[in-house]
Structure 1
């Protein structure tokens, strides 16, 4: 089985996969100081709880946007799983699609993996929205070429900035308001409205502008942990796929192995 590792700015997700099927997944806060030994103790216990062991893993695929975390993840694969990890986007596992942008080398691994999975599963032009530390909008044309996109502050970053800068505002949970009113009657309700409905308005407004610029029918795919929160109150998403990045890792792994065996 494949151990797919998606290392983001906030969390690292480990998934035990067979093909594109996910047998188990675990999430841990991203900390570049965390050692391979610490990962191994944590993972070994979780594997055992799911009825697996380290010997079940015969490959490790890493996608990361945190370069400082990469070394210890590589050591984890070599020392505790006895395999050389494949790094998504490296010479051993190139993206395999055209990057029609000014700085192709700066495309984040998570966004590239989303492009791979989204294009493989959905024909035509696409907008992929990933709700992570940042909220990213990626445009993929019908040929699978990456055309560019948008980077916006994630909703948690927006809330953190608001609470940090305004001394009298309380910290609130990120959740959908109880109703659709946008006239708040107290400080907390006003904050919920501003953060939640303000974010929905941003999503809908940017998607509308992207669709107008693309000029062809477009399918909108949402992924990331908070996508389901917004799905409840907007019709802008055509599909919500929580595991898009992990499936991209699995697809890139399969493609890499087919090429290596050819």
Structure 2
């Protein structure tokens, strides 16, 4: 069984994957100071609670956009599981795709993994949108090459900046406004309209520009925590796949086995 760790700027997602099927997943806040021992206490107990035996894990892969976290997760793997982990993008777990951009080494692991999984699952040209700490838009051509993309502030990051840099604006939850009107009648409604419909307009507008530049039909694949929320209020997405990054890790681990 494979233990996959997807380390993002906000959360670390662990998943147990058997023959390509995700059997369980757990999420913890990203903290590069968290030690391998701390990860072990938390993760192995959760696995046991759900009936999994850590002795069944025979492969570990780590994909991380937080370089400092890799060492402590390696300690978790080697000390408690007796396994030297694969690091996504390195050695046996090299990407295996063309990175047709100016600085290939600067591409985040999550975006490369999304590219690998999206191309494996879908034909033709693709635009992959990942709603994370940042919202990323990635173009994958019909041959599976990564062609470039866009990085925009995530919606939570935008809201944090708005609330944190103003004296009177309150914290609000991110959800669709109750009314379809885009003329708010109070401060909270006006904020929610700006954040929610403003973000829908942002993703629709950027994807329209990307499609025009690609010049061929392109399928839009969405992933990340807020993809499902936005999917209910726009016709933009052809596919919503919340597990795309984990699936990319499983593909790399399968190639390295």
TM-score under structure 2 length normalisation: 0.99
Residue 213 of structure 1 aligns with which residue? 213
Distance in 2 (alpha carbons) for counterparts of 1:195 and 1:19: 40
What CA deviation, in whole Å up to 9, does each residue of 1:80-129 have, x standing for no partner?
A: 11100000000221101111100001110000000000000000000000
Q: Does residue 55 of structure 1 match 2:45?
A: no
Residue 197 of structure 1 aligns with which residue? 197
Which sections of structure 1, spanning at least 5 residues, go unmatched? 258-262
What CA deviation, in whole Å up to 9, does each residue of 1:134-175 have, x standing for no partner?
A: 000000000000000000000000000000111100001111
Moved over 3 A (4+): none
Residue 100 of structure 1 aligns with which residue? 100
Q: Secondary structure at the match of 1:219?
A: strand
Distance in 2 (alpha carbons) for counterparts of 1:15 and 1:96: 23
Q: Does residue 152 of structure 1 match 2:152?
A: yes
Residue 136 of structure 1 aligns with which residue? 136
> 1:1-262 to 2 correspondence within 5 Å?
1-257=1-257
Q: Secondary structure at the match of 1:71?
A: helix
What CA deviation, in whole Å up to 9, does each residue of 1:230-258 have, x standing for no partner?
A: 0111000000000000000001100112x
Deviation at 1:20, TM superposition (A): 1.8
Distance in 2 (alpha carbons) for counterparts of 1:20 and 1:176: 34
Q: Secondary structure at the match of 1:113?
A: helix
Bigger shift: residues 81-90 or 177-186: 177-186
Distance in 1 (alpha carbons) for counterparts of 2:44 and 2:136: 33
Distance in 1 (alpha carbons) for counterparts of 2:180 and 2:35: 46
Distance in 2 (alpha carbons) for counterparts of 1:98 and 1:31: 31
Residue 260 of structure 1 aligns with which residue? none
Q: Secondary structure at the match of 1:205?
A: helix
Q: Secondary structure at the match of 1:22?
A: strand
Q: Secondary structure at the match of 2:91?
A: coil
Deviation at 1:19, TM superposition (A): 2.2
Aligned residues: 257
Deviation at 1:226, TM superposition (A): 0.7
Q: Secondary structure at the match of 2:92?
A: coil
Q: Secondary structure at the match of 1:17?
A: strand
Deviation at 1:34, TM superposition (A): 0.5
* CA RMSD of superposed structures (Å): 0.6
